[in-house]
Homo-oligomer: A and B are copies of this chain.
Amino acid sequence: MATKIVLPEAELPTHWYNIVPDLPSPPPPVLHPGTHEPIGPDDLAPLFPMDLILQLVSEDSYIEIPEEVREVYRLWRPTPLYRAHRLEALIGGPARIYYKYEGVSPVGSHKPNTAVPQAYYNAKAGVKKLATETGAGQWGSALAFACSLFGLDCEVYMVRASYDQKPSRKAMIETFGATIHPSPSNNTQYGRSVLEEDPDTPGSLGIAISEAVEVAATNEDVKYSLGSVLDFVLMHQTIIGEETLRQLAMVDETPDVIIGCAGGGSNFSGLVFPFVREKLAGRMDPVIRAVEPAAAPSLTRGSYQFDFGDTGQMTPLVKMHTLGHPFIPDPIHAGGLRYHGMAPLVSHLHELGIIEAEALHQTETFASAVKFAKAEGIIPGPEPAHAVASVMTEAEKAKESGEEKVILFNLSGHGHFDMAAYQAFFNDELVDYELPEERITEAMAKVPVVSG
């Protein structure tokens, strides 16, 4: 009974998968925030090094992972794929459940998969410092880790509410030698403008992005780094799915249902894009499902249109499922899923009908995560707890119907930094926020109308 399926280190994938050339229709262009015209590589040069910009426009299906990046990946990769025998036994029925576990990375999540190449390409280009935002702190920790390995300075803008609530993440980021500021801060023009209007604002990811982008755009030596949404971020994460394909082949399994949680969309894409390739090529036909929080339901309740990635309207306009860039989600514990938009590529796949989506309230996700932890011994982060809940419902359905379903999901990180959220669950203190339609309508009213 092989519970853990180990991919030999020699089989660590050598390439990331670029889904764009394989799509049945090309994704919409990225537009300049001022002119609303499609942008070119030069427009992005103040923010990113050319190697990363070229990945954004590449027409190659596979992009080689530099050996310097693979060397760091090998610190924790290949990650294990687990057969959830104990969870299956708990639920009963014929479903076979597999999960890819990204919590074994040094910072406990999938985020280093892109932090490491981003730090590498920037260091290679002679950049001195990276500026970034972080919500709950997963991404900030990952980038601080990656920058310390490649000798880059790192400046993290952390949403103030999380900065105050999660001192452990702050300390972790500082241990890796990065500097960290609660956002909004007085360091940036945009931050000062927000503070002037509301000195007690808890901040938001959209505000923190604006600050980090401003720092990069206004300092020669500084570039911007982000942990989700953008095409190259999603591509770096495909190492997850490429490994998983090989691991499932080792046990001769083909998934019927593939599930991932989705906030910005990076862990979801990382697992599913290689499977989308297989599906489009007719080699398998899985249902592929993104699970988002009911408090930030961009795929299930947002509009598919051009919008900014940040609150300050500094980023390019991308076509995506959005709740409106001024939208601030209620304070659910899955901080990594609290974003107003969805990655353009994930949005495009949803629009094409290749993937489906559902939204869950947090109490259900924690209830499932506790059952999972007791059965499997691993405590899920609040974000992948959304995937866990959907998987358990799927397995229950298979039990009722008697269908021998193979269910695969991404356990994108552990919950060791989120035990306060579990405590709140045990104390019956979790709130399942209802999101009135007006809040979305109000935020969407501020989204520019752009054809395309």
Which residues of A are interface residues toward B (Cβ below 8 A)? 1, 3-4, 6, 8-9, 71-72, 74-75, 82, 86, 104, 106, 108, 145, 148-149, 167-172, 174-177, 370, 373-375, 377-379, 416-417, 419-420, 422-423, 426
Pair B4/A74 contact, Cβ less than 8 Å: yes
Pair A377/B416 contact, Cβ less than 8 Å: no
Could you say which of B4, B86, B168, B172 contacts A149, with CB atoms under 8 Å apart? Answer: B86
Pair B148/A377 contact, Cβ less than 8 Å: yes
Pair B168/A373 contact, Cβ less than 8 Å: no
Pair B426/A171 contact, Cβ less than 8 Å: yes
Known: A3-B71, A4-B75, A374-B177. A171 touches B423 (CB 8 A): yes
Pair A9/B6 contact, Cβ less than 8 Å: yes
Q: Give the distance to chain B from A143, nearest Cβ to Cβ, in Å.
A: 12
Protomer copies: 2
Instruction: Report B-chain residues with C-beta under 8 Å of the C-beta of A379.
Output: 106, 172, 175
Q: Give the distance to chain B from A394, nearest Cβ to Cβ, in Å.
A: 23
Task: With CB as the reference atom, state the residue of chain B lying closest to A85.
Answer: B71
With the chains together, A379 CA to B175 CA distance in Å? 8
Pair A175/B106 contact, Cβ less than 8 Å: no
Q: Give the distance to chain B from A133, nearest Cβ to Cβ, in Å.
A: 20
With the chains together, A416 CA to B423 CA distance in Å? 17
Pair A374/B171 contact, Cβ less than 8 Å: no
Instruction: Report B-chain residues with C-beta under 8 Å of the C-beta of A374.
Output: 148, 175-177
Pair B419/A377 contact, Cβ less than 8 Å: no
With the chains together, A379 CA to B171 CA distance in Å? 11
Pair A167/B420 contact, Cβ less than 8 Å: yes
Q: Which of A1, A149, A419 has the most CB of B within 10 A?
A: A419
